[in-house]
Structure 1
Amino acid sequence: MTFRETIITAFQSLKMNPKRSFMTIIGIVIGIASVITIMAIGNGVNQMAKSQFKTSKSGELKAQIDFTSDTDAG
């Protein structure tokens, strides 16, 4: 099967199953978007952590950690 025949067969499949093709495209788009979002969040957290670990003149590392508990103790 040549490259041209493969392309023609692919387009025929897309025409015969438009709903399935549309759902596949939507799934791929959502998957790619979620991977990009997760990577962006990870890079943002990494940059924030690096900015908080600044070296002072004495060589000490300082970081501020904020914690809020949503549970009641009791």
Structure 2
Amino acid sequence: MLYLIDKPMAEIGLRTAAGDPEARIVLIQDGVYLSPDVDAPVSAVARDVDVRGVSLPPDIDRVSYDDVVEALVEQEVKTFV
């Protein structure tokens, strides 16, 4: 399942994703400020990273909004935005 996570809802979103062995997390908007400690692949929207001037840890991949939209169509989503 794909989890879209923004900073205001991060605690509950990350806690929910932690219980999902198939979780894939995408940090969006102010969520790019987070460095989640989860056992799941984590990506951040590149445009949001650039606009906020954030340096991502090496374990967080950059993805485009187009990639996120494609993933939204392909799999189930829980949003914490």
> Structure 2 length as normaliser, TM-score?
0.20
Higher RCO structure (Cα 8 Å, ≥6 apart): 2
Larger radius of gyration: 1
Greater per-residue helix proportion: 1
> Structure 1 length as normaliser, TM-score?
0.21
